[in-house]
Structure 1
Amino acid sequence: MSTREGAPVQSLRECRGYGRLWSAAVTSAFGTYITTLAIQVLVVDTLGGSGTDVGLVNAARWLPYLLFGLLAGVLVDRVRRRPVMVTTDVVCALVLAVIPLLAATGHLHLGWVMAAMAVFGTATLIGDAASQSFLPRVVPRPLLGAAHARIDQADAVAQGSGPALAGAVISVLGAPLAVLIDAASYLASAVMVATIRLREPATPRSQPEQAPLSTGAASGGLRNAVRGIGRDVREGLRWVYRHPTLLPFAVSTHIWFACSAIAGAVLAPLALRDLGLSAATFGLATTAAGLGALAGATVAVRLGRRWGAGRVIIATQAGTGLAWAVMATAPVLVPAGGGSGSWAGGAGWGVFAAGQLLLGLCMGASNANEMSYRQTVTPDRLQGRMNVTMRSFNRAAIVVAAPLGGLLGDAAGYSVALVVAATVVIITAAVATSSKLRGAHLGDRYAVADPT
């Protein structure tokens, strides 16, 4: 994949399959940002849910990472990754289509939403692991940063326009029907990925082909397969949690995701109730995050080259904490009698949107550095397990923290919950500056080390 007719690949345009992979990611991203807002509005407005209910739905979405995450990493490292991506895209489309169907028949309630999100989460767990592990087979490692930055830029455009479009669609059609747009985007993504022409190894290069099992050897073969799964899982865990830079990176990211889950559980109730925003004005405010993400993704590679991936990761994690703190102050500016049905207007909405802008800026600048660094330092045979190991513990943090964040917001106030999340993530970033992550660069010596 890193050569074309024997010559080294010099640009992303020369990477066969990257264009379709980019298009698939962008198409799906547009639908995802619509669904993200639609599900929150559906829970809070359509179903009359609380911050705790939002947290429970978020937890259901990420619960499969806690239950099956490590096994998914083993699966992705054992099979061709492209067919997995196609299959999981189709499953996601079918699951999302169930929500408007239930709404149309009068059977939609919180339990069904949680169940749908759990199945959706299982499919995206496997699909995302395959996608993240597939990209290094399409793009040579020196171009991974640029590849992620281009995807992030397009994703930022989707983030900027998706919520505004979602707000308009929800206002006209209702939240359940808005989810259908995401279902269609997953089908389109499946078609684009299926038409990528790229040869993949049938099995990992590090593992020999297994001979077919005879009837008499079936039980012994099954035991060996189970033992093999355990070995592969442990190898992935050792790679991440014994690596000199991936270890502090992973721990700080796990904490960040826990804090993000708290913020995610209370942002919608804060905006819709404390600030009195409608679905449309809430969507308009969150488009600021897309604008910030676009700006951040545009400079992400340059920041990583100048300051190092580690410093960028740490600084942007702290920046997201500051963004949450900014949004927490927005209700203070709501005029007397505002909130709960009447738009807060100017100052409160403006501060909330400013916080969204800063949040998007930090996440846009961070993602390309995070993804390209961890993919660069990891050999191909461990890509699936590395990606899923980190994502599984990240999402496990969401499963635990999202309901707690909702409970904290309902009990102490949504702004208080945001301040707690902001404080913890800023302290974590400060601690990370004393670790080896601070000096991490895409070309450092750990990029060729394989302690396993």
Structure 2
Amino acid sequence: MTTEPEASAAPTPASTIPDTAPASPAAPPPGHRGLWRERGFPAFWLGQGLSQLGAQFAALAMPIVAVAVLQADDAQMGYLHAAETAAFLLVGLPAGAWLDRMRKRTVMIAADLVRAVAVAAVPLLWLAGMLEMWHLFVIGAVVGVATVFFDVGYQSFVPVLVRDEHVGPANGALEATAQTMRLGGPAVAGLLLKVLSAPLLLAANAVGFLLSAISLMLVRDEEVVKPKHERQHLVREIAEGLRFVARTDFLVRIVGTTALTNLGTTIAMTLSPILILRILGLDPAIYGVLMTLGAVGGLVGSVLANRIARWIGEGPALSASTLLFVASAALLPAAAHFPDAAVVLLVLFEALLGFSVLVYNIVQVTARQRICPKPLLGRMNASIRFVVWGVMPIGALVAGWLGTAFGTLSAIWVGSIIAMLGALPLLLSPYARMRALPTREDATRQA
């Protein structure tokens, strides 16, 4: 599903942390409060929270810059989103193997600095009167490459930074913070648009990346990178990660559901700014308020995800969140058919989408981190992201083509239907009913 917390989490080499499975969310997590006494986690959490706040400004400002300032059409919006996500398809696989050879914190710092410089170019070009759509394509591609490396390191860094029993609570805390920023960020950004132009809001995103880099500089971890003499050829290491995913049935099911829902959601969401800003004619400030109101669902989902998994079981939690996602998928295009109720439908869409995606992501990402041997975490996560995020540039290009050929609304309906069908690989599997999802020991026995 979209916004997988692969920095909603992601993509780990061997570390000094004991290689034992974390406590399952099906049982009360031991020492939850001890998470905040983990060395380095508070600074990491603060930096990522500030970065997320800046990202919310960018999430609102970038489509407004494209649609309202540069008058982008359906095809150009497809090209823009494809440029932003193409890196997951092009460098996603080797990124995992490279990350398993390097200290993740160092790579994440470098990625943050690259992103800060690239995003800062938008307001500078606009102030100089030189900003064009091709600039957004290039900047989106550069930020996308840096994001691949950051996200692969981010998700793999959590098991390095905290003890196994704190991995689930750490993912929940990071996601709760991200959703809190998403709750307030768009509304603040919408109000600022009354006095500032959209390109200037992207400066806040650049500052957020810079603050994230500084926070990572303050973190100390005990990661031990695999010595050179123990490494295999890069292609062989990439293949090892792919084989682990392909031979682990639970991961295959997760990849199937996440990839299909991401494909459909990307088609729909690529064109949603045109639907909201141009077809429905909503003010950009209202657009920001809608995103804020919808973020309530994500915040609730991030707070309750582990509790829901304990109450009804991990598999049923994944099933319920997937079904809720299916129910929400039709609300975005339906808003165009009921303009008088469009705002209400969009709020419901955002809220249900945010809640379902966050519950799904926290449960499945924690299960993935728990099922995979630590030396393979980076490659496992990168292999999965190669597929589930690699479909996104394809979906963006398809969105541009469908919107140009059949109209914006028809293209959004096609995307919504594909996203709904994406629930089938998980719902038709035995994991949909498992109270406790497979662990590292289970995967070893299966292999």
Q: Please report the TM-score for the alignment, with normalisation by the length of structure 2.
A: 0.88
* Cα deviation, residue 360, structure 1: 1.2
Offset of residue 412 of structure 1: 3.1
2:253 pairs, out of 226, 244, 248, with 248
For residue 441 of structure 1, report the CA deviation from its aligned partner. 5.5
* Cross-structure match for 2:78: 55
2:377 equivalent among 358, 374, 383: 383
Name 2:421's counterpart in structure 1.
427
Asked if the contact 1:57–1:113 (Cα under 8 Å) also holds between the matched residues in 2, the reply is yes
Please point out which of 229, 241, 246 is paired with 1:210: 229
- After superposition, the C-alpha distances for 1:43-99 in whole angstroms (9 at most, x for unaligned) are 111000122222211110111111111111011101111111111111110110111
Q: 2:160, 2:222 within 8 Å by CA — same for their partners in 1?
A: no
Answering whether residue 347 of structure 2 is matched by residue 353 of structure 1, we say yes
Match in the other structure for 1:173: 196
1:276 aligns with 2:298: no
Aligned to 2:390: 396
Could you say what secondary structure the match of 2:129 adopts? coil
Distance 2:314 2:239 in 1: 27
Picking from 324, 338, 348, the partner of 1:333 is 338
Alignment-derived partner of residue 124 in structure 1: 147
What is the CA distance between 1:2 and its match in structure 2?
5.9
Q: Is the 8 A contact 2:261 2:421 kept in 1?
A: no
Q: Compare CA radii of gyration and give the structure with the larger one.
A: 1
C-alpha deviation, 1:447, in angstroms: 4.8
Uncovered stretches (5+) of structure 1, i.e. residues with no partner: 212-224, 336-346
Equivalenced residue count is 419
Q: Is the Cα contact below 8 Å between 1:275 and 1:349 reproduced in 2? A: no
Structure-2 residue corresponding to 1:261 = 266
Q: Per-residue deviation at 1:448?
A: 5.2
Correspondence 1:103 to 2:126: yes
Task: Indicate conservation of the 8 Å contact 1:248/1:436, yes or no.
Answer: no
Deviation at 1:284, TM superposition (A): 0.7
8 A contact 2:56–2:185 mirrored in 1: yes
The structural deviation recorded for 1:424 is 2.1
Cα separation, partners in 2 of 1:125 and 1:59, compared to 1, 3 Å: same
Task: Give percent identity, aligned residues only.
Answer: 29
Structure 1 position 40, deviation (Å): 0.5
Q: Are residues 1:414 and 2:408 paired?
A: yes
Aligned to 2:156: 133
Does the CA-based 8 Å contact 1:70-1:388 persist in structure 2?
yes
Question: Which residue does the alignment assign to 1:294?
Answer: 299
Q: CA deviation at 1:15?
A: 1.6
Greater CA deviation, 178-187 or 326-335? 326-335
Root-mean-square deviation (CA), in Å? 2.1
Residue 446 of structure 1 deviates from its aligned partner by 4.5
Matched, 1:309 2:314: yes
Could you tell me how far 1:419 is from its partner in structure 2?
A: 2.7
> Of 62, 77, 81, which residue of structure 2 is paired with 1:39?
62
Q: State the alpha-carbon separation in 1 of the partners of residues 415 and 214 from structure 2.
A: 39
The 3 A distance-change label for structure 1 pair 89 and 440 is farther
Paired letter, 1:275:
L
- Equivalent pair of 1:245/1:436 in contact (CA under 8 Å): no
| Residues 329 and 415 in structure 1, CA contact (< 8 A), matched pair in contact too | no
- Hey, what does 2:13 align to over in structure 1? none
1:152-211 CA-to-partner distances (Å, cap 9, x unmatched) read: 11111111111112222233221111100010011111111111122220x22xxx5339
Q: Distance in 1 between matches of 2:76 and 2:174?
A: 32
Q: Could you state the TM-score of these two structures normalised by the residue count of structure 1?
A: 0.87
Structure 1 residue 128 displacement after superposition: 0.9
Q: Does the 8 Å contact 2:246/2:252 carry over to 1?
A: yes
Runs (4+) of structure 1 exceeding 4 A deviation are 439-443, 445-448
Q: Is the 8 A contact 1:373 1:441 kept in 2?
A: no
Higher mean C-alpha deviation, range 243-252 or range 317-326: 317-326
Q: Residues 145 and 447 of structure 1: is their aligned pair in 2 closer, same or farther, counting only changes over 3 Å? A: farther
**Per-residue CA shift, 1:240-282, capped at 9, x if unaligned?**
1210200111111111111121121121111111211011011
CA–CA separation in structure 1 for the residues paired with 2:174 and 2:115: 20
Please state how far the C-alpha of 1:442 moved relative to its aligned partner.
Answer: 5.3
Query: How far did residue 431 of structure 1 move?
Result: 4.1
Q: Secondary structure at the match of 2:201?
A: helix
SS in 1 for 2:100: helix
Q: Which ranges of structure 2 fall in alignment gaps of 5 or more residues?
A: 1-15, 19-29
Report if aligned partners of 1:152, 1:297 keep a CA contact under 8 Å in 2.
yes
Which of the pair has the greater relative contact order for Cα pairs under 8 Å at 6+ separation? 2
Alignment partner of 1:78: what SS? coil
Question: Which whole-Å CA distance do the structure 1 matches of 2:44 and 2:17 have between them?
Answer: 16
Q: Is the 8 A contact 2:61 2:202 kept in 1?
A: yes
Does the CA contact (< 8 Å) of 1:60 and 1:115 recur in 2? yes
